[in-house]
Homo-oligomer: A and B are copies of this chain.
Amino acid sequence: MASTDELLTLASVQEAHELIKPFIHQTPVLTSAYINSLASTPQTPESLSKTEWAGHPPANPTLRLHFKCENFQRIGAFKARGAFHAIERLKQSPGFDASRGVVTHSSGNHAQALSLAARESSIPAYIVMPSISNPSKVAATLSYGAQITFSGPTAPEREAAAQKIIDEKGAVLIPPYDHPHIICGQGTAALELLSQVSVPLDAVITPCGGGGLLSGTALACSESPATRVFGAEPSFQGADDGKRGYYSGQRIESVKSLTIGDGLRTPVGKIPWSIIYERRLVDGMFSVTEEQIKAAMRLVYERLKVVVEPSAVVGLAVALYNEDFRRMVEEEVGEKGWDLGVVFSGGNVSLAALGGLFEE
Please list the residues of chain A having a beta carbon within 8 angstroms of any beta carbon in chain B.
Answer: 71-72, 76, 297-298, 301-302, 305-308, 347, 350-352, 354-360
Contacts and interface: CB of A to CB of B under 8 A. Distances in A.
Nearest to A72: B305
A359 B71 CA distance: 22
A183 to B, nearest CB: 25
A358 B354 contact: yes
B350 A302 contact: yes
A322 to B, nearest CB: 22
A305 B306 contact: yes
A194 to B, nearest CB: 23
A352 B356 contact: no
Contacts of A354: 301, 351, 354-355, 358
11 contacts: A76-B305, A298-B351, A301-B307, A301-B354, A306-B307, A352-B360, A354-B355, A354-B358, A355-B356, A355-B360, A359-B359
B301 A351 contact: yes
Nearest to A360: B352
Nearest to A308: B305
A274 to B, nearest CB: 33
Contacts of A301: 307, 351, 354
Contacts of A307: 301-302, 305-307
Contacts of A302: 307, 350-351
Contacts of A350: 302
A131 B107 CA distance: 49
A302 B76 CA distance: 9
Nearest to A344: B305
A158 to B, nearest CB: 26
A302 to B, nearest CB: 7
A357 B351 CA distance: 9
A172 to B, nearest CB: 29
Given A76-B305, A351-B354, 16 more contacts: A71-B305, A301-B307, A301-B351, A302-B307, A305-B308, A306-B306, A307-B307, A352-B359, A354-B354, A355-B355, A355-B356, A355-B358, A355-B360, A356-B359, A356-B360, A359-B359
A308 B302 CA distance: 10
Nearest to A351: B358
Nearest to A352: B360
Contacts of A305: 71-72, 76, 306-308, 347
Task: Across the A-B interface, give the 9 residue pairs with the lowest CB-CB distance, nearest first.
Answer: A355-B359, A351-B358, A355-B358, A305-B347, A305-B307, A355-B355, A352-B360, A71-B305, A359-B359
A358 B352 contact: yes
Contacts of A352: 358-360
Indicate the member of A297, A302, A351 with the most B CB atoms within 10 Å.
A351
Contacts of A359: 352, 355-356, 359
Nearest to A298: B351
A1 B360 CA distance: 49
Contacts of A298: 351
A115 B347 CA distance: 32
A249 to B, nearest CB: 39
A29 to B, nearest CB: 14
Contacts of A297: 351
Contacts of A72: 305
